[in-house]
Structure 1
Amino acid sequence: MNSLHKGPATTGRPEAIKAVPVRHPGRWVGAAVIGVLAAMLIHAVFTNPAFKWDVVGQYLFDDRITHGLVVTLELTALAMVMGVAGGILLAVMRLSPNPLLSGTAWVYIWVFRGTPVLVQLVFWNFLGVLWAKLSIGIPFGPEFWSEQTNVLIPTFVAALLGLGLNEAAYMAEIVRGGIQSVDEGQQEASHALGMSRFATMRRIILPQAMRVIIPPTGNETISMLKTTSLVSVIALEELFRAGQNIYSRNFQSIPLLIVVSLWYLFLTSILTIGQYYVERYYARGSNRALPPTPLQRIRGLFRGNPTPPAAPVVIPGAPNTGDTGGTHS
């Protein structure tokens, strides 16, 4: 009986796979191009005498610059308070079943979003041309009190009205989107418990909508900080106008523009960091584990762990079951 020919004996293990890493030549080319351009930019910044860094250092903390900086911060803070408060009110009106309220809010948003903020600033500055005096009294009847419009609305107030009322229109759409992101069952359940519409909005809807509202609101705040430079057209001396006033006398336009830009970059960086931590705070209810903070990432790099585990969400009063969803470093 002929024996069958058998091949080489097998050990039962599959052969090792020879993995060849994927080549990415485009990444290396892109990195080289960016590196060369960055080196050229740094070389130009530090070797071009037209930048005049000594003049930049001279005026960086000038009294006129710091005064304009304070005005910019005041305008940003007050305009955002007005915008957020007005936006919440307009959003609630827009979502109201009352057609008069919703229609009024729609017209307001349509007008203030449809016209440039620069035009609105100039309009409020020249409001005295339309009404020389503003008064309080009975409609079409006697006046109880009146005052000159230019006295009631000086340049700072005109700038605040232009920025704040315009921002309210944008914030209204942001808040409306956040409110509509909350499931309708939340509102139905609160009404079933006997809560009023106002209490439901304040205690149930808005706290949950904040997770959606906060990120665009942070962007609007950063945008508002830079938009305040537009008030220079109505001769209010904020940060940019202060720089203009200085270089109109000493003709050092580039160094003064660098001074103004450095202050804007510094302030926007602070706002960006604050926005990150506020977003992280309101993300606690939606994420099982929070992403690591920049400080935690830096510590992870020094400890040899470039991607540290996410921090667990700790709910006050909740029992500790041992399952934290990660190790908090």
Structure 2
Amino acid sequence: MAGEPAVTPVPTDDELVVVPLRHWWRWVGGAVILVLLGLLGWALADAKIDYAAVPGFFTHDIMLRGLVNTVVLAVVAQAGAIVLGVVIALMRRSANPVARWFAAGYVWLFRGLPVLLQILLWFNLALVFEDISFFGIWEEKTNVLVTAFVAALLGLGLNESAYMAEIVRAGLNSVDHGQVEAAKAIGMTPATALRRVVLPQAMRVIIPPTGNNFINMLKGTSMASVIGFLELIHAANNIASRNLQIMETLLAAAAWYMVVVSVASVGQHYLERYYGKGVAR
């Protein structure tokens, strides 16, 4: 009919031409990365490193002792930090103002001082206190009690406990207060509500940063080498001082760090999946 607009026919599926979107910059970026990796591999292959000697240092008895000491120190320090962190976090949420101020001061002090400084302070405690006694019932020399392991444990554990206190506090605060009120309404004590209602939900928030902190703890044990504690770095230096193959022994220590960090990452993954199963599909 005259005056009516022309109707454009709709093309059928066979008539449609699909033009894929080209992402040229993705290909350029990928090519640049491959070129850089190739240059790095070429440089490492051309470096003056005896790669054949690295496996021998990887399984050297001193290196294995350093590995065991590293893992033990990290696990014990992290476990103690978790316990102390939970206590300090609960104190910060306490209705007692003295407990709250003490907890805040604890976090301020141990989070503010560098870890290496704390390790050195504990290791040199005998310069200030020659003896440590317990109300005259028991007494011992400070340099006998505060060994290199104990000094590293106190320095790493107390520093980490301050961070754990904030992580736990954030996890507890993430749980809706109405659930706590509901738990109290059905007769649960505060301790029971914390154990059965609050903590299971707070763990979803607590686990990821705790896992990251434990990985940092594994690597942070290297600072204990400055006080003579035999961990991976100190073990590598001991071996290198005998054969002067410094890079080879450091590469062996680096390989062990990657192994233990990878194992810790896998454990973190399964913990996160376990405590997140209530919200994940």
Q: Same fold (TM over 0.5)?
A: yes
Name the amino acid aligned to 2:83: A
Match of residue 82 from structure 1 = 80
- Supply the distance in 1 between the matched residues of 2:259 and 2:44 (Cα, whole angstroms): 19
Match of residue 109 from structure 1 = 107
Q: Tell which has more relative contact order, 1 or 2 (C-alpha 8 A, sep 6+).
A: 2
> Secondary structure of 1:64's partner?
helix
Name the amino acid aligned to 1:29: V
Q: How many residues align?
A: 279
- Supply the distance in 2 between the matched residues of 1:268 and 1:40 (Cα, whole angstroms): 27
Note the C-alpha offset of 1:19. Answer: 3.6
Note the C-alpha offset of 1:40. Answer: 1.6
Larger radius of gyration: 1
Residue segments in structure 1 that go unaligned for 5+ positions in a row: 138-142, 290-329
- Say if 2:251 is the partner of 1:258: yes
- Supply the distance in 2 between the matched residues of 1:5 and 1:97 (Cα, whole angstroms): 82
1:249-328 aligned at under 5 Å gives the runs: 249-287=242-280, 289=281
- Say if 2:38 is the partner of 1:45: no
Residue segments in structure 2 that go unaligned for 5+ positions in a row: none
- Say if 2:235 is the partner of 1:226: no
- Supply the distance in 2 between the matched residues of 1:256 and 1:68 (Cα, whole angstroms): 12
Match of residue 215 from structure 1 = 208
Name the amino acid aligned to 1:131: F
Match of residue 175 from structure 1 = 168
Note the C-alpha offset of 1:9. Answer: 9.1
> Secondary structure of 1:51's partner?
coil
- Supply the distance in 2 between the matched residues of 1:147 and 1:208 (Cα, whole angstroms): 45
> Secondary structure of 2:137's partner?
strand
Match of residue 314 from structure 1 = none
Note the C-alpha offset of 1:97. Answer: 1.2
Match of residue 24 from structure 2 = 25
TM-score (norm 1): 0.81
Tell me the alpha carbon deviations over residues 9-59 of structure 1, each in whole angstroms, 9 at most, x when there is no partner. Answer: 98x7445554432222111111111111111222222333x1211221221
- Supply the distance in 2 between the matched residues of 1:9 and 1:253 (Cα, whole angstroms): 80
- Supply the distance in 1 between the matched residues of 2:112 and 2:7 (Cα, whole angstroms): 81
Name the amino acid aligned to 1:55: A
> Pick from 171, 191, 194: which aligns with 1:198?
191
- Supply the distance in 1 between the matched residues of 2:95 and 2:3 (Cα, whole angstroms): 88
Identify which range, 217-226 or 17-26, moves more after superposition.
17-26
- Supply the distance in 1 between the matched residues of 2:187 and 2:5 (Cα, whole angstroms): 82
Match of residue 178 from structure 2 = 185
Question: In percent, how many aligned pairs have the same letter?
Answer: 46
Tell me the alpha carbon deviations over residues 253-299 of structure 1, each in whole angstroms, 9 at most, x when there is no partner. Answer: 11111011000011111111111111111111112x1xxxxxxxxxx
> Secondary structure of 1:74's partner?
helix
- Supply the distance in 2 between the matched residues of 1:259 and 1:212 (Cα, whole angstroms): 35
- Supply the distance in 2 between the matched residues of 1:84 and 1:55 (Cα, whole angstroms): 40
Are the structure 2 counterparts of residues 5 and 122 from structure 1 closer, same or farther at C-alpha, using a change threshold of 3 Å?
closer
Identify which range, 105-114 or 153-162, moves more after superposition.
153-162
- Supply the distance in 2 between the matched residues of 1:160 and 1:248 (Cα, whole angstroms): 26
Note the C-alpha offset of 1:194. Answer: 2.5
Note the C-alpha offset of 1:6. Answer: 9.3
TM-score (norm 2): 0.94
- Supply the distance in 1 between the matched residues of 2:149 and 2:201 (Cα, whole angstroms): 36
Tell me the alpha carbon deviations over residues 100-136 of structure 1, each in whole angstroms, 9 at most, x when there is no partner. Answer: 1111110000000000000000001011111111111
Tell me the alpha carbon deviations over residues 182-211 of structure 1, each in whole angstroms, 9 at most, x when there is no partner. Answer: 000011111222222222212211111001
Match of residue 98 from structure 1 = 96
> Pick from 149, 158, 163: which aligns with 2:151?
158
Match of residue 123 from structure 2 = 125
- Supply the distance in 2 between the matched residues of 1:190 and 1:5 (Cα, whole angstroms): 74
Note the C-alpha offset of 1:172. Answer: 0.5
- Supply the distance in 1 between the matched residues of 2:138 and 2:80 (Cα, whole angstroms): 26
Tell me the alpha carbon deviations over residues 62-97 of structure 1, each in whole angstroms, 9 at most, x when there is no partner. Answer: 000000000001001100100111111110011111
